[in-house]
Amino acid sequence: MVKHQPLQVYERQLCLSCLTGIYGCRWKRYQRSHDDTTKWEFLWSLILFFTFSLLLVWFYFWWEAHNDYNEFNWFLYNRSGEWIDGTVPILATTAAGFTYIAFLMILALCHIAVGQQLNLHWLHKIGVSTALLTTAIGFISVNQTWGEEWAVIPISLQATGPFLHLGALVAVTALAWLVAGQVARSEKTMFQVVVLLLYLSVLLGLYMAPLSITSPCIMDHANLTPRPDVIGHQGAPMLAPENTILSFQRALQMNVSGLEADVAISLDGVPFLMRDRTLRRTTDVGKVFPARQLDDASSFNWTDLHSLNAGQWFLKEDPFWTVQSMAQREVMLVGNQSVCSLEQLLRLATLHNHTVVFDLRRPPHGHPCYHSWINDTLGVILLSGIPQHLVRLLCLSLSVSAGLSFFSLSFSLSFFRSSLFLLSFFSLSLLSLLSLLSFSLFLSFFLFLSFSLSFFLSFFLSLFFS
């Protein structure tokens, strides 16, 4: 009598096939393995984690630097001579790279959760290497050309620190089951001890982090410093063309503490407002005076300057993506703006009793006002009748053969405090329940106990079911 063995039926594991297929191109069952990850693949996992961390910092930097995108574009304009929004390709590639690396990180964690061997496909290894290399080059480039902008990270953390801390606690706690599963499946005692100690150290460090957080969000209202002064840099360049009278009017409507402008001097000695060395970017000089569009702005007399349109470029370039939200009347006002003189700005500031901050620029060699430019500018300020305590000279820009050098010259008043802290001030109202640091520490200690219990519970449940 012949005994027939029943055929072994394999269940289709579509999720597992997709998981191992996308990560390591192992779509077939025989290609998968529950063996320990090799040292080479473990090294690639560390590289993947490091790339993810680096991209996370890079992404956060550009997210928080959004107020200074125009400054970055202006820097590119001075280098290339063409006005382009350089932040768009940076943000697009950063978002794409971060999404790709984060997706690979999730797949790697899922491999660990189901006990599959990590085996990153060589195409993904090329992608990770490319992301790591380009991000490293980006860090070096920003550090060399825009290094002062790194200060935005510690400043922004005063507002975002509590939220990032709670988010990190949730993320690390969610990994408790995964860590417990790894410890339970491992047969090496040393590995179990190292993983447990590493995880608990990270968890404990996160719960002690509030001791180092000095955020206005969790400070007593009585200990907060006064609201910082907010300066309208070139007016309100997001709402109207920079350094125009409409831009300064819009800034005053936003209740700023003062106005800031860049001052040059015309060929006939009239101080006017212009940031760039040439008129090509912010006026229609290429249309009115095509042969002189690369000339220094100070080489034009005031009659020629006043005849130029200083608003059409704003409607065409839309540097802050605000034109589409403007009413038709506002578009007409913007399109009819002209170059603003220093006298016009001083009359506006005197009318509203607001402080004015000037950044003066010396005309080039051979200019009729090359030696008298400071006295000519101060003469206009004195004749305007504006109170002296409302005027500040931020810096004087001197032309030398090697480039530009700056030195400070101020009146009786000190510099304004940085307006970047305004974000921290407004975020205070959103977290009034965390006004005392002691309450935050108590909450962290309570969460530490509860999450530690959840970790050990997950660990023992994993031991039981395994």
Sequence-ordered list of residues with C-beta below 8 angstroms from that of 457, at least 6 positions apart, any chain: none
Q: What is the pLDDT of residues 21-58, one digit of tens each?
A: 888 888 876 566 777 778 898 899 999 999 999 999 99
* Residues 299 and 350 grouped into a single domain: yes
Whole-number pLDDT of residue 442: 42
Whole-number pLDDT of residue 223: 74
- How, if at all, do strands 231-233 and 258-265 pair? parallel
Phi, psi of 403, deg, nearest 5: 145, -135
Whole-number pLDDT of residue 31: 63
* Residues 17 and 131 grouped into a single domain: yes
User: Which pLDDT band holds residue 160 (cuts at 50, 70, 90)?
Assistant: confident
Higher pLDDT pick, 130 / 399: 130
DSSP string covering 67-79: GGHHHHHHHHHHH
pLDDT over 70 for what percent of the chain?
A: 80
* Residues 129 and 15 grouped into a single domain: yes
- Structural domain contains residue 114: yes
Whole-number pLDDT of residue 420: 30
Considering 176-180, 307-311, 427-431, 443-447, the range whose residues carry the highest mean pLDDT is 307-311
Residue bearing tokens 């000339």: 295
Domain boundary among 145, 164, 197: 145
Whole-number pLDDT of residue 462: 46
* Residues 299 and 340 grouped into a single domain: yes
Whole-number pLDDT of residue 451: 47
- Structural domain contains residue 150: no
* Distance between CA atoms of residues 158 and 119, nearest Å: 40
- Structural domain contains residue 40: yes
Among 236-250, 345-359, 428-442, the least confident range: 428-442
Among 146-160, 314-328, 378-392, 428-442, the least confident range: 428-442
Domain boundary among 122, 145, 168: 145
Q: Name the residue among 91, 98, 120 with its Cα closest to residue 108.
A: 120
- Structural domain contains residue 407: yes
* Residues 238 and 214 grouped into a single domain: no
Give mean pLDDT, residues 86-102. 92
* Residues 241 and 379 grouped into a single domain: yes
Give mean pLDDT, residues 199-209. 86
* Residues 278 and 398 grouped into a single domain: yes
* pLDDT for 321 beyond 60: yes
* pLDDT for 370 beyond 90: yes
* Distance between CA atoms of residues 124 and 23, nearest Å: 8
Whole-number pLDDT of residue 408: 29
- Structural domain contains residue 4: no
Among 9-13, 104-108, 343-347, the least confident range: 9-13
Give mean pLDDT, residues 82-98. 89
Phi, psi of 252, deg, nearest 5: -65, -35
* Residues 119 and 161 grouped into a single domain: no
- Total domains in the fold of the chain: 3
* Residues 346 and 386 grouped into a single domain: yes
- The reported pTM is 0.70
CA 254 centroid distance within chain: 23
At position 412, the amino acid (one-letter code) is S
What are residue 261's DSSP bridge partners? 358
Whole-number pLDDT of residue 459: 46
What are residue 356's DSSP bridge partners? 259, 391
Give mean pLDDT, residues 331-349. 95
- Structural domain contains residue 135: yes
Contact 162, 213 (CB under 8 A): yes
Whole-number pLDDT of residue 18: 83
Higher pLDDT pick, 421 / 44: 44
* Residues 87 and 53 grouped into a single domain: yes
Residue bearing tokens 């360049």: 237
* Distance between CA atoms of residues 32 and 117, nearest Å: 7
Among 234-248, 337-351, 451-465, the least confident range: 451-465
Domain boundary among 85, 118, 145: 145
In 243-318, alpha helices (H)? 245-253, 285-288, 302-306, 312-317
Q: Whole domain around residue 332: which residue ranges?
A: 231-416
397: three-class secondary structure by DSSP: strand
- Structural domain contains residue 2: no
What are residue 406's DSSP bridge partners? 397
* pLDDT for 362 beyond 60: yes
CATH number of the domain residue 329 falls in: 3.20.20.190
- Structural domain contains residue 1: no
Task: For the beta carbon of residue 407, count every other beta carbon within 10 angstroms.
Answer: 8
* Residues 47 and 131 grouped into a single domain: yes
User: Which pLDDT band holds residue 247 (cuts at 50, 70, 90)?
Assistant: very high
* Residues 432 and 455 grouped into a single domain: yes
